[in-house]
Amino acid sequence: MSGLSILNVDAVRAAPLSREPYSYILGEGVLRPEAVDDLRRDFPDIAKPGYLTVDEVQLKGRFKDLIEELESDAFSAVMSEKFGIDLVSCPRLTTIMKRSQPKYGAIHTDGPSKVMTLLVYMNDAWEAPAGGRLRVLYDGQNFEPYAVEVPPTMGTLFAFLRADNSWHGHRPFEGERRVVQVAWVRDAAELERKKKRNRTAQFLKGIFGR
């Protein structure tokens, strides 16, 4: 795919599409090996826990290039082809996390304003046996049984179509957990609302340390 020099589109296309318990893909090697060292070096130095929008983070180098590729129409076209749904016309909200807190990972489905959510993990290794490993779940209460568990290691991609039963979450983890999230939302007004809400949440964390 012309213009995508960091994302390995072939790896995305090769990822199996599962329809149970909801529509998702789990792929590996979606970051080209020759780009990994630069991406590791250029990952933002974020002190705050949780997800920050790209507007709140200083982007540079190859990591900035990665964000541009993830938000591009070319990549949205690849994901549209994969899931059989138009994503090119959807606004995109990209957020970045470096530090996780134990309270993160509660089981949820994502809100109905989202069409699809994609996660690209960027951790060199993952030693925690269960904590921080996202699971595709069957209900809103239980971490077991699960359909699949996502290793949050470098170049792993997980994407799913939002549905009333798109339950997912992970057991508590505290520490560094590098991940980029892209959400395709239904309209531009919803995109601005989510950005404003995220800025407010980060502001309150700064005041109250939560």
**Could you read off the pLDDT of 110-154 as tens digits, one per residue?**
999 999 999 999 999 999 888 999 999 999 999 999 999 999 999
Domain extent at residue 195? 9-205
Asked if residues 126 and 132 have their Cβ atoms less than 8 Å apart, the reply is yes
Closest CA to 92 of 60, 66, 67: 67
Helix axes 33-42, 61-70, angle to 10 degrees: 110
* 1 within a domain of the structure (yes/no): no
Q: CA-based Rg of the chain, rounded to a whole angstrom?
A: 16
For the full predicted model, state whether its pTM sits above 0.85: yes
Indicate if the pLDDT at residue 35 is higher than 60: yes
Quick check: is 49 in a domain?
yes
Q: How many domains does the chain have?
A: 1
SS3 147: strand
Does the residue 194 lie in any domain? yes
Phi/psi at 142 (nearest 5 deg)?
-125, 135
Q: Which residue has the higher pLDDT, 191 or 37?
A: 37
CB 195 within 8 A of CB 55: yes
